[in-house]
Amino acid sequence: MRFVQDIPHPHFRIGLYAWNGKYIVKIEAGPYEQTYKISEMDITDPESVPNRLDEPFLSRVAKRFQEMDQDWQEAGERYDYDS
């Protein structure tokens, strides 16, 4: 996987990578990660990727991170992993 660029954001760590004919957008928050794979044929210029990461999109990403955390916490409570 080839690193292309970091995409600055105040709350997430966002990286753009190229691999196997795809651009991969990795968005990290704490212990969680969301990955989006986009065909290189769908985006001719990787510099256009940050424009797609607009406020409505990142708002949904943030909500998904909250849901991921809630799922993980509930799983821990069901199986008492913290003990």
Binning pLDDT at 50, 70 and 90, where does residue 82 land?
low
- Cross-strand partners of 29: 32
Lowest mean pLDDT among 1-5, 15-19, 74-78: 74-78
* 3-state class percentages of the chain: helix first, strand second, coil last, to nearest 5: 40, 35, 25
Per-residue pLDDT tens digits for 22-80:
999 999 999 999 999 999 999 888 889 999 999 999 999 999 999 999 999 999 888 87
pTM: 0.87
**Residue 20 pLDDT exceeds 80:** yes
Domains detected in the chain: 2-79 (3.30.67)
Helices within the chain (DSSP H only)? 49-52, 55-79
